Structure formats: C-alpha cells, structure tokens
Amino acid sequence: MSHHQDSAAAKQDPRLDISDVYLFKGRNGTVFVMNTNPVSADKGFHPEALYEFHIDTDNDAVQDLTFRFRFLAPEPDGRQAWVLDRLTGAEAADRNAPGTPVATGSTEEIVTTPDGLKAFVGRAGDPFYLDGTVITAVVTALRNGEAVDLSAFDPQRASNLFAGTNVTAIVLEVPDDLVGSDTIGLWTTTALDDHHGGWLQINRCAKPLVSTLFDVTEAGFDDYNATDPRDDLDNYGDLVRQKVAALVSANDTHSDPQGYGAATRDIIFPDVLHYQVGTEAGFGAKARNGRGLTESVPEAMFEIVLNAPVSMGLDAGYATGTLRAEFPYLSAPA
C-alpha cells in the first residue's frame, strides 16, 4: 500500500486515512489531489475534521499557504456540503485561524470560482497500483536488513492489490499565479476536533510509501502522522539512514552503504513533494518533480532504497478505471 491504513487512528476511521497525494500540471493550473478512505470510498468525509493541503513556498518545510476543506454531516442522499478556506502567513499553520472562505460546494459536483480555482470532492477510482508479493519482499528485507527475496514473485501473475477499488478524493486545481511561488513543496493532513479547543493530527502524506517502507509508526518513535515535516530529519533521519545502509549492504548494491544511507535519508526527508510550477510532473528513482497519476511510484521508491531496480510487472493500465483528460482527472469510480 502507499499510505493505506498506516496509523491506528486511520484504521479506526478510514475517512481520515490519506492513501496518496498527487501534484501535477493540469489544463488550467496546478493540481493538488488528496485521496482518502481507500479501498471502499463509501463513508464520505468526517464532519468534525479538517482536510488540508499545506504548501511551502520557500523550501523550509513550513507551510506558507494552506487550502483547508471542512465538511458538514452527510445528507440523506449521502452528499456532503463543504467549505474551502485559504490561509496564508502564520495562519497557514494555525488550525484555529478562520482563514478566508474561497469556495463552497457539495460532493460529486465540480465548482469553479470567479478567479479560476476548480474543486471536486467525491468518489473516484484509485489510480495507485502495487503488486503485493513484491512490496512484501522489499518491506521484509528493509525491516530485517537482508537480501530481497523475490523467489515467490511470478511476473506472469503480477496483479494490482487495489484493482477495482475506489477512494474519496479531493481534487483542487489552482491557477499558477495563485500558488505563491515558482517552486513549491506539498504535504497533506487530516486533523480531528478534540472538543477541547484543539486538533489532533490523524494522518499526513506526501511522498509515497514512506510509512510503509520505514516503519516510522513503530513503537519507540513519536507518532509520525502527528508530527510535521520540518522535524522529520531529527525524528526519523537516523532510522532511515541505518535501514537503507543495512539493506544495500546485504544486497551488495553500493560500495559505501553508510554514505548511501545518508543520501537516501536526505531524499526521503523532509517528507514533502517538491514541484516546479507549470512543468510536467514525474516521480522517479533518479528525479522527482511532483507526482503524476500514472507513474510507478512503488518501483521508484524500491530503487531509491535499494539502489537497484525492482520490477512489479505492472503499469498504469492495471489501475482502476480510465483517467479523465479534463478536471477532475481521476477516473470515475468502479
């Protein structure tokens, strides 16, 4: 999985579970996608939660601009009204700040504001694809510092764990001149009202598979999903460096395992998707610029941590549905 059910709170309430984040050039601006509630997509959005796109415009892993979605309780027909707020400056990191409402709407409809911002909130096919045998082999090797054992993998029988599954998606397309910078960083969060004047951050997601590969939610570490990207290197940098060094040493894929571990640590953290606004997105092992809807990000992440390619035998044709050429770009739900 990418970030599917990667925390205890997200498992308890999948409405708060962020599975994947995408950032790419759209027809009319920069597209931000947060997919939640993976596999079923049948529970909507939590009416006491905030769903946030955090945008860093000066490369310090601190948000300078936040787009925040708030939801009302579902109507009898299942639809939910939503409000989109824009927060800048110090307010961007303040969940109690009111922000500026910029759009309202209801799930399953496309909303366009007078300044050209587009929003869609609703069910969609999951564009993520992953072979279960391969991910298990890589995660096991990384966890134990041992050779990757792909003996159980038959490329002729490769299959997508998430074929035919849906997500509840939030898709936002923002005109480039409203994004705030030529180069941005993005991460997303869900946060739940604690009914004591504060918020509990339940889930966060940017780069794919970080929590799955590195056990950053394991006992003995601060709750990764409750922390912020600016603290990633201090909190989890040494963990990643050691795990990657042990992996490449066991697989003999680099002459300097410790050096490669440190270099990989600095690729992974801070856990922010970086993107040059207006350019074609792509998330690969050698270069990363946002994240499109079709690339094989698991294979990219496998190669990053192992320093050797690992094929799943899959391509975007194995994903659920057919992507749309126009906004909201994701496929219709299965």
pLDDT value of residue 41: 76
Q: Tokens standing for 142?
A: 């990384």
Is 0.85 surpassed by the pTM of this model?
yes
Average pLDDT over residues 106-117: 98
* HEC secondary structure over 22-46: EEEECCCCEEEEEEEEEECCCCCCC
Question: Can you tell me the distance from the alpha carbon of 320 to that of 332, in angstroms, rounded to the nearest whole number?
Answer: 9
Mean pLDDT of 159-186: 97
The residues spanned by each domain of the chain are 8-318
Report CA-CA distances (Å) from 166 to 17, 63, 102: 13, 29, 28
Query: Which pLDDT value is given to residue 8?
Result: 56
Which range (46-60, 127-141, 204-218) has the least confidence? 204-218
For residue 219, is pLDDT > 50? no
How much is the pLDDT for 58? Answer: 97
Which tokens sit at 282? 């792509």
* pLDDT 10s digits, 243-254: 999 999 999 999
Provide the CA 328 distance to its chain's centre, in angstroms. 17
Residue type, 40: S
In whole angstroms, give the CA distance from residue 151 to residue 143.
18
pLDDT above 60: residue 261: yes
Q: Which two tokens stand for residue 274?
A: 């970086």
Lowest mean pLDDT of 36-50, 246-260, 263-277, 289-303, name the range: 36-50
DSSP 136: H
- The per-residue pLDDT for 218 is 60
**Lowest-confidence segment of 12-16, 188-192, 234-238 by average pLDDT:** 12-16
For residue range 85-97, what is the model confidence (pLDDT) as tens digits? 999 999 999 999 9
Percent of the chain with pLDDT over 90: 91
Of 27-31, 36-40, 147-151, 206-210, least confident by mean pLDDT is 36-40
Per DSSP bridges, beta strands 118-125 and 110-112 are antiparallel
**pLDDT for residue 216:** 77
pLDDT in tens, 124-140: 999 999 999 999 999 99
Of all residues in the chain, what percent carry a pLDDT higher than 70?
Answer: 95
Instruction: Provide the mean pLDDT of the chain.
Output: 94
φ/ψ of 45, rounded to 5, equals -120, 150
Residue 90's pLDDT is 96
pLDDT (0 to 100) of residue 217: 66
| Band (215; pLDDT cuts 50, 70, 90) | confident
pLDDT grade, residue 39 (50/70/90)?
Answer: confident
pLDDT at residue 221 in the model: 57
Q: Which pLDDT value is given to residue 133?
A: 98
